[in-house]
Amino acid sequence: MRNVYVLGAGITKYGKSTLTGRELALEASRKAIDEAGISATDIEAGFVGNAFSISEKQGHMGPIVMSGLGIPDAPASTIESACASGGSAMREGWVNVGSGVYDCMLIAGVEKVSQLDTITATTFFSYASDFIFEGACGASFPGLYAAIARAHMTEFGTTQEQLANVAVKNHENAMSNPNAHLHKRITVDDVMKSAVVADPLKLFDSSPFSDGGAAVILCSEDFLRKTSGKTSETVMIRGSGRAGGTGALHQRDDMTSLNAAVLAGREAFKRANLTQKDIDFAEVHDCFTIAELIAEEDLGFARKGEAAKLTQEGYTSLKGELPVNPSGGLKAKGHPVGATGVGQVVEVFDQLHHRAGGRQVENPRIALTHNVGATGASAVVHIFEMN
């Protein structure tokens, strides 16, 4: 595989938007193109992560985005991998540029769901579970992650207060992210007193339903040299990993770990030839607070059952040894499903370029992103380095 670089990155504000999905994807894509210093006609092909645009009566977002950019001849497919759609689009971009098929690609992600009421949105989302066994029986994603949380609490003694620590940290980080959905400083007490969504998970343990778009430009070394005349001080993809897991929870031996994330992490570290100690910060898939703790354990940053202590002791705070979700994470930055995995890369791009403002991690050089589809039926991990 050739080296693959992230030449530009763009993001919209996350939250409830009056824009359509198409407009959000185009806004983010134009920002990424400007940032990369290229013109749209340099883009040879693209992938657009999206899961639910059909709820807006618009499928086939890939070509829609390319047409909107004025490059309808450039092929683009929509990648649907539930909440890992954006990360999976990144993976396909890495494969296509790395293998030499293309030199310059647009990888975008978008979701627009605020036109749906909560029950309808929850129902749409449940179509990404193993619907016959889960969604159709009334098990929504909050319910499924609540079952995972219960298993973790039973096995390791994890407490609801320890879950709340994750929400407090991520809400704090989002305070200095102008693009975050939720700007609200909270305490453990606020979390504990918030409405129960699916016991033991409460309102502040959950990510919100967000609209938003994110995009990056991936390119080869040849393209990079031609366009910018440099190959240093550029963000490079050091490693990529992707894996699958069973759709339904009842088919798993262990509910306290997402095997797809374990496997994807191992592949990414192996390809990058790096270890956990090399990572300066991570953006992980905290769709519910329990998911951040499990991510840290699955990726090998903590031993099984010990991630809760890391949060409690400040290890994963912005000024800690391993900042996790400096952006505010899905919990507070927001979770526009198809955009989430690409948005994580935008955060990495901004952090590695030292322009993350009040949430800037101290001198980062290597960062990891972790994006999960459903309850771990798919997972994607990438490792980036400022070279």
Ligand X SMILES: CC(C)(COP(=O)(O)OP(=O)(O)OC[C@H]1O[C@@H](n2cnc3c(N)ncnc32)[C@H](O)[C@@H]1OP(=O)(O)O)[C@@H](O)C(=O)NCCC(=O)NCCS
Q: Least CB distance from residue 117 to ligand X, whole Å?
A: 8
Q: Least CB distance from residue 189 to ligand X, whole Å?
A: 15
Give one DSSP letter per residue of 317-331, joined into a string.
STTSSS-B-TT-HHH
Choosing from 181, 335, 370, 382, which is the catalytic residue? 335
CB-nearer residue toward ligand X: 186 or 274: 186
The rounded distance, in Å, linking the Cα atoms of 191 and 7 is 39
CB-nearer residue toward ligand X: 1 or 136: 136
The rounded distance, in Å, linking the Cα atoms of 90 and 66 is 17
CB-nearer residue toward ligand X: 239 or 373: 373
Q: Least CB distance from residue 164 to ligand X, whole Å?
A: 12
Q: Least CB distance from residue 127 to ligand X, whole Å?
A: 12
The rounded distance, in Å, linking the Cα atoms of 27 and 99 is 29
Tokens linked to 185:
């400083």
CB-nearer residue toward ligand X: 147 or 197: 197
DSSP code of residue 83:
B
Nearest CA to 385 out of 301, 278, 296 is that of 278
Choosing from 83, 104, 219, 287, which is the catalytic residue? 83
What is the binding site for ligand X (CB under 6 A)? 83, 118, 122, 125, 141-142, 182, 197, 203-204, 206-209, 287, 335
CB-nearer residue toward ligand X: 195 or 253: 195
- Cβ atoms within 10 A of the Cβ of 273, count? 10
* In the complex, residue closest to ligand X by CB: 118
The rounded distance, in Å, linking the Cα atoms of 12 and 28 is 6
Annotated active-site residue 83? The verdict is yes
Q: Least CB distance from residue 140 to ligand X, whole Å?
A: 7
The rounded distance, in Å, linking the Cα atoms of 345 and 15 is 18
User: What Rg do the C-alpha atoms of the chain give, in angstroms?
Assistant: 19
The answer to whether 386 touches 300, Cβ cutoff 8 Å, is no
Strand-strand pairing, 45-49 and 104-111: parallel
Annotated active-site residue 104? The verdict is no
Tokens linked to 242:
């992707």
- As annotated, the active-site residues are 83, 335
